[in-house]
A and B are shown apart, each in its own frame.
Chain A
C-alpha cells in the first residue's frame, strides 16, 4: 500500500511509493493493449472528477482510467457545478462526502485547493492540477514513460525547458526526479524563472545550448500564453530561437536523447513540427502512459484495508 491516502504533492510520495505505482501501471498497460480493456477491479466505487478549471486531456484520461476499472465515474466541471452559483469549495466537498464518493480527482485554479478538500472529507483525493503548484499524476506518467523508453530512472539528467515559474508540471516533475535519483536541470530565461530559483532544488541554466549535450531527456514546457501577464520575452520567434527544440538543435544532442512535452503543444514555439513528429519525440507515449498510471493510482489508493475512511 502507498504511504499516503492522497496524491496531492509529489513530496508526499516516497521512492517506494513511486516504484509501486510505476510497476502496477505496467500491468495496466498490458490491459490497455487488450481487445477488452475493462477490469472489474473497482466495481461499485464512485470516482468524481471535479474539474473547476478547463481541461479535456487530463479529465478524459482520468475518466477512461476510472471506467476501465469499472468504477462509476462522474464528471463535474466548472461551468456546470454549483461553484458558479457561489458554493464554496468546503461546501462542495461536504456535499460530495454526503453522497459517499470514494475518490475525488480535483483540478482547481488555486494552489492548495486539493489539500483543503482532503481535510474536509473522507474520500481519497488526487490532485489533477492546482494553480501553479503541482500536477503529480503528470509527473508520474512522465517517469513511467522515461522508464519505458530508457529502461531506468536513476542517474538520468532531465532538462526542463521553459516557463518554470508558472508551471505545475515542473512543480511536480522536479521533486519526482529527485526522489528517484535523477538529476533535473531547469533551463529558462531569467524572466521565466521564479524569484528564487535556488529553492527549486534543481540546477539552473539560462542556456539550452550549453547543457544540451548532458541531457538524456529534454522536457519542453508549453509557453502558457494565457497565464503570464504580458509576454515575458520579446517575441515568440525569439523564444523559439533560444529555447525551442528544432532539428538543428536536436542534431547536437545525444543520439539517444528523447524529447517530451506535457501537451498541448505550440508547434513552432517550444517544439518545431518536424521534431514533434519525429521518433525522438515521445509525446504520444506520455498520453498513452497517462491512463495506465492513473489506473494504478486509483487501484492503489482504493485497494486494501481501510479504504473510504482515509484522512
Chain B
C-alpha cells in the first residue's frame, strides 16, 4: 500500500523542544539523573533515547547510560507476523534497582510497550519503569499510558504516524500519512 503525507504535525525545532521538555520532566520526576538509565526501542526509539540522554547531560551534567532493545522475541503476534530483521539488544548496564526510562517514537496500541517491559524484566528487576514517547496517537488496546509525551496527536485508525529522523530518513519531522486509494483518484 502506498502512503502520502496528510499533515506535518511536528517539525525539527518542535521535536527538539519536546525532547528538551521531556528531559526536564524526567529529571524532575526522578530528582536527578543518578539512578536513571534510558532504553530506546528499535529502531527509532534508539535515536530518540540518544537525544534524550544528551539533553539530560546538558542540563544535569550527568549522562545516563543508554541501551537499545529489540522486542521481536517478545511480540504477541508471532503466529501472524515474523519480523524479518532482528537486531541485537544491547543493555550495557545492570537494570537491577535502576529507574528505566523506555523511549519509543509513537505510542499506539501499547503492545510494543508490553513486549518491551517483559524484555527488560528478563534482565533483572528495575526499581521503576517509565515511558517516554514523542507522539501519542491514541487507539490503545492495553492498559498502558506514557509518563512523558512529546505531543498528543488524535488520529484515525486507517492513518499512519511516522517519525522521520535525520539519521535514518534524511529529514526530521512527525507526519500523518494516509493511504493512497487507487480508484478514488
Is B82 touching A39 in the complex (CB atoms < 8 A)? no
Closest chain B CB from A23 CB (angstroms): 7
Of the 9-residue stretches B44-52, B117-125, B127-135, B136-144, which lies at the interface with chain A? B117-125
- A30–B80 Cα distance when bound, in Å, is 25
Counting contact residues on chain A (CB < 8 A from B), the size range is: 20 to 34
Is A39 touching B87 in the complex (CB atoms < 8 A)? no
When distances are taken between beta carbons in the complex, the residues of chain A under 8 Å from B84 are 1, 20
B residues 19-62 near A (Cβ < 8 Å) are: none
Is B88 touching A27 in the complex (CB atoms < 8 A)? yes
Is A30 touching B88 in the complex (CB atoms < 8 A)? yes
Name 20 A/B residue pairs within 8 A (Cβ), A-sorted.
Answer: A1-B82, A23-B86, A27-B73, A27-B87, A27-B88, A27-B89, A30-B90, A36-B123, A38-B122, A40-B74, A300-B82, A303-B78, A303-B79, A303-B83, A304-B78, A304-B80, A304-B81, A304-B82, A305-B80, A305-B81
When distances are taken between beta carbons in the complex, the residues of chain B under 8 Å from A304 are 78, 80-82
Report A1-31 CB contacts with B as 1/0, cut-off 8 Å.
1000000000000000000100110110011
Closest chain B CB from A273 CB (angstroms): 36
- Look across to chain A and name the residue whose beta carbon is closest to the beta carbon of B70: A27
Within the complex, which residue of A27, A38, A69 is in contact with B86, where a contact is CB–CB below 8 Å? A27
- Look across to chain B and name the residue whose beta carbon is closest to the beta carbon of A295: B73
- Look across to chain A and name the residue whose beta carbon is closest to the beta carbon of B81: A304
Report A269-311 CB contacts with B as 1/0, cut-off 8 Å.
0000000000000000000000000000001101111010000
Residue with the greatest number of chain A CB neighbours at <10 A, chosen from B74, B86, B88, B90: B86
When distances are taken between beta carbons in the complex, the residues of chain B under 8 Å from A34 are 122-123
When distances are taken between beta carbons in the complex, the residues of chain A under 8 Å from B82 are 1, 300, 303-305
Closest chain B CB from A36 CB (angstroms): 5
- Look across to chain B and name the residue whose beta carbon is closest to the beta carbon of A302: B78
- A31–B89 Cα distance when bound, in Å, is 9
When distances are taken between beta carbons in the complex, the residues of chain B under 8 Å from A300 are 82
| Interface size of B in residues (CB-CB distance below 8 Å) | 21
A contacts, CB < 8 Å to B: 1, 20, 23-24, 26-27, 30-31, 34-36, 38-42, 69, 299-300, 302-305, 307
When distances are taken between beta carbons in the complex, the residues of chain B under 8 Å from A31 are 73
- Look across to chain B and name the residue whose beta carbon is closest to the beta carbon of A26: B88
- A231–B21 Cα distance when bound, in Å, is 77
Is B73 touching A39 in the complex (CB atoms < 8 A)? yes
When distances are taken between beta carbons in the complex, the residues of chain B under 8 Å from A23 are 85-86
**Top 9 closest pairs, chain A to chain B, by CB:** A304-B82, A303-B82, A41-B73, A39-B73, A27-B86, A36-B122, A303-B78, A24-B86, A27-B88
Closest chain B CB from A203 CB (angstroms): 35
- Look across to chain B and name the residue whose beta carbon is closest to the beta carbon of A24: B86
- A299–B124 Cα distance when bound, in Å, is 24
- A36–B74 Cα distance when bound, in Å, is 14
Is B88 touching A39 in the complex (CB atoms < 8 A)? no
- Look across to chain B and name the residue whose beta carbon is closest to the beta carbon of A308: B79
Closest chain A CB from B29 CB (angstroms): 28
When distances are taken between beta carbons in the complex, the residues of chain A under 8 Å from B83 are 303
Residue with the greatest number of chain B CB neighbours at <10 A, chosen from A31, A38, A69: A31
Closest chain B CB from A11 CB (angstroms): 22
B residues 63-82 near A (Cβ < 8 Å) are: 70, 72-74, 78-82
Is B118 touching A40 in the complex (CB atoms < 8 A)? yes
- A11–B86 Cα distance when bound, in Å, is 24
Q: A36-B122, A36-B123, A299-B73 are in contact. Are A30 and B89 (CB under 8 A)?
A: yes
Closest chain A CB from B157 CB (angstroms): 22
Residue with the greatest number of chain A CB neighbours at <10 A, chosen from B85, B87, B122: B122
- A24–B85 Cα distance when bound, in Å, is 8
- Look across to chain A and name the residue whose beta carbon is closest to the beta carbon of B123: A34
Closest chain A CB from B169 CB (angstroms): 23
- Look across to chain B and name the residue whose beta carbon is closest to the beta carbon of A42: B78
